[in-house]
Chain A
Amino acid sequence: GQQVMQIPQYQHVQEGEDFTTYCNSSTTLSNIQWYKQRPGGHPVFLIQLVKSGEVKKQKRLTFQFGEAKKNSSLHITATQTTDVGTYFCAVDRGSTLGRLYFGRGTQLTVWP
């Protein structure tokens, strides 16, 4: 079964609006990774969160890891057309073997 639930599956926004995607797990996570896949491209690693309550920023992107380490979010402020793509969260099971379980992804469409 799915290790992590990601919502929403699709999001359509006008350029300049904000966007958020969420990942939720029923179990405590050791860490969570976020990837972005442009249309026609391959997933590209964005960031990894490890600590409870951690917040990291990359320009207009803000990543959060919940206090209980069971959920995470990716927020984009003032979306641009270059933000178009599918955003995936990915988790492991606390193992160091490197196997990741990807969420279903959120497809972001940005209208100019």
Chain B
Amino acid sequence: EADIYQTPRYLVIGTGKKITLECSQTMGHDKMYWYQQDPGMELHLIHYSYGVNSTEKGDLSSESTVSRIRTEHFPLTLESARPSHTSQYLCASSGTGNQPQHFGDGTRLSIL
């Protein structure tokens, strides 16, 4: 089983709060990804990173930001949460070449 961890699993919080979703992997993977997924819907890539100090925006425009200061850690931050940010956020990582992506259990975020 892949070693990629996301915290928190669930978060219910009020509008305007600053939120950081944590993602860590212990596989030494250079590549990490953040996806947004509504229940039963498709995966939307919002951020990805090819290594330390490398981050790129994905296909879906997002008000979130990411950082990659350490290989194993890829946190996602929302400076001021809004109800439209309510969704599930999935973190993934992959090794060299076209190796498959390993996903964390996700964070289900609800903004009131």
Measured CB to CB, the residues of A under 8 A from B are 30-31, 33, 41-45, 48, 86, 88, 90, 92, 96-100, 102-105, 107
Contacts and interface: CB of A to CB of B under 8 A. Distances in A.
A97 B96 CA distance: 8
A107 B38 CA distance: 14
Contact of B99 (A88, A98, A103): A98
A45 B100 contact: yes
A107 B40 contact: yes
B42 A104 contact: yes
Contact of A98 (B41, B97, B104): B97
Interface of B: 31, 33, 40-43, 45, 48, 50, 90, 92, 94, 96-106
A107 B102 CA distance: 20
Nearest to A10: B40
A103 B94 CA distance: 18
Given A42-B103, A43-B103, A45-B100, A98 B42 contact: no
8 contacts: A42-B90, A43-B43, A43-B101, A44-B103, A98-B50, A98-B98, A102-B43, A103-B42
